[in-house]
Amino acid sequence: MPIITVHMYPGRTAAQKDAVVRGITDVMVREANATPESVEIMLMEVPREHWGIAGNLQGAPASG
C-alpha cells in the first residue's frame, strides 16, 4: 500500500486539497499499478514560521 506524505504551507482550500489527493491517487494508479483503495495520502500543513530553507525561516521577517 503506498503511503504518501505531502508537506506544504497552510492556506489551500478544501477543494484544492481534494484535487491534490485525487491527482496523486490517479498518478499512483496509472504509474505504479496501485488500486485507488490502497493509496493513502497525508497532507501536512506546516506554518511558514516552522519551515526553514537555506538556513532561513520562511515566516521570519526579512532582516536588513
* Active site residue ranges: 2
Looking from the CA of 28 toward its CB, the CA atoms found within 13 Å total 18
CA angle 45, 43, 22 (to 5 degrees): 140
Residue linked to cell 494508479: 29
